Amino acid sequence: MSRNLHDRVLGSLLGAGIGDALGAPTEGMSAEEIADRFGSRVVDFEDGSDNYYALGNDVAEVTDDASQTYEMARAVAECKGRLTVDAAAQALVRWSESYPKYYPRNAGPTTSQVIEALRAGGDPVELGMLGRRFERGTSDGAAMRVAAAGLTRPGDLERAVENAVAMCRPSHGTQHAFSGACAIACAVAEALREDSTTVSVIQASVYGARRGEEIGLATARRAEGRRVLPVLRTALAEALLAESMTDAERRLEDMVGAGGSIQEAVCVALGLFLAADGDFEKTVVSCANIGGDTDTIACIAGSVAGAFCGASAIRRDWVERWTAANPMLDLEPVARELADICLDA
């Protein structure tokens, strides 16, 4: 397994993209429906062009998840590793204007409302704290695009938290979103370290969930719903009890759920990463088969597993097919900029 810094930064961005592309054809289905539709478990890129969430997509093409991850990575690089709220807001607007195939069709319930308000000149911090709808500010969009928040300084969890909070504020200004996004950003930051382990990555995610919630309770809207941290503990316990990856999928779907909330998507993604002992292919394949919001769960988990394993550990045929299907996502220069920021830190 190659562990050089550029390889791991690129691995995180590639992992998010490949996870998204694997999960897009199965999004919105149950595990049973996935098996019926594709004849068995999905273990490779499939044609999901008849699925609403991947309508008209080529095989191995991404959706809103990885394209937003890419635009946020560009923003973090442009900010030299310290993302601002305004830069995060501008990245969301830039995404909406650059990917007409995905916006507004694929935009989540929180992000779509916020983008239109940002276009109209709304204040990003105030917009992020608006409530009035149950799912607003607590959907999993805060975590699906957050990987680059942790790609600026290996092992620096506070920097990852700062960037994740800045990324959340324009659209997901709640304690739950901060908690889930910081869990993933901290996991990615730890995964970049040369001597990181699966356990240390999970420990970093628990720290991030706690720290993000603390900041959210002090500075963001206090939304209703389950706290991320106890759900994460449940997910990790179930992952450790699982006898196989399919058993882990069943346990996590039963005990946590695999829907589009920040609580479910983040905790299931980290649970499957743990159950797979950090193995990239096992992680993202399970994410694509668990059912529910599969593309987002796989994008999140892929960003962590990709940082942990590195790009060189990802199947070469997957990388080649994914790259050909997504020419608009030029990951290499962005990964190089982020790796340089890490080295200069």
Higher pLDDT, 152 or 135: 152
User: How many Å apart are CA 14 and CA 21, to the nearest integer?
Assistant: 11
Q: What does 59-79 look like in DSSP terms, one character per residue?
A: TT---HHHHHHHHHHHHHHHT
* Peptide bond preceding 124 in cis form (omega within 30 of 0): no
Mean pLDDT of 180-197: 98
> Is there a contact between 190 and 158 (Cβ–Cβ < 8 Å)?
no
> 300 and 70 in contact (C-beta within 8 Å)?
no
pLDDT recorded at residue 3: 52
Distance, CA of 71 to CA of 170 (rounded, Å) = 15
Query: What's the whole-number mean pLDDT along residues 220-237?
Result: 96
On the question of pLDDT at 93 being above 80, the answer is yes
Number of neighbours of residue 35 by Cβ within 10 angstroms: 16
Distances (CA, A) of 102 to 45, 52, 53, 172, 335: 19, 11, 9, 20, 23
**Residues 260, 296: contact at Cβ < 8 Å?**
yes
- 26-40, 135-149, 189-203, 280-294: segment of lowest average pLDDT: 135-149
Alpha-carbon torsion angle 200, 206, 208, 213, nearest 10: -170
What's the CA gap between 295 and 284, in Å, rounded? 9
Buried b (16+ CB within 10 A) or exposed e, 297-310: bbbbbbbbbbbbbb
Q: Which residue has the tokens 């935009």?
A: 107
Q: What is the mean pLDDT of the chain?
A: 95
Region 192-203: what's the mean pLDDT? 97
* Residue 305, both tokens: 């597993």
CA 120 vs. chain centroid, Å, equals 27
pLDDT for 135 = 63
- Global pTM value: 0.96
Q: What is the pLDDT at residue 246?
A: 98
- Res 203: pLDDT: 98
Name the token pair of 335. 């990964």
Rg of the chain on CA atoms, in Å: 17
Percent of the chain having pLDDT more than 90?
87
Mean pLDDT score, 140-158: 97
What percentage of the chain exceeds 70 in pLDDT? 97
Say yes or no to pLDDT of 133 above 80: no
Domains and CATH numbers, the chain: 5-344 (1.10.4080.10)
pLDDT digits (tens, 9 = 90+) for 47-72: 999 999 998 999 999 999 999 999 99
Q: Which of 78-82, 122-126, 240-244 has the lowest average pLDDT?
A: 122-126
Q: What is the pLDDT of residue 2?
A: 38
Taking the C-alpha atoms of 334, 340, 343 and 345 in order, what is their torsion angle to the nearest 10 degrees?
Answer: -80
Q: Would you state the torsion angle of the CA atoms of residues 231, 67, 48, 269, taken in this order, to the nearest 10 degrees?
A: -20
> What is the CA 344 to chain-centroid distance, rounded?
26
Q: Report d(CA 245, CA 106) in Å as an integer.
A: 29
Predicted pLDDT of residue 134: 43
3-class DSSP state of 261: strand
Q: Is the pLDDT reported for residue 132 higher than 60?
A: no
| Residues 295-336 pLDDT 10s | 999 999 999 999 999 999 999 999 999 999 999 999 999 999
What φ, ψ does residue 24 adopt, rounded to 5°?
-60, -45
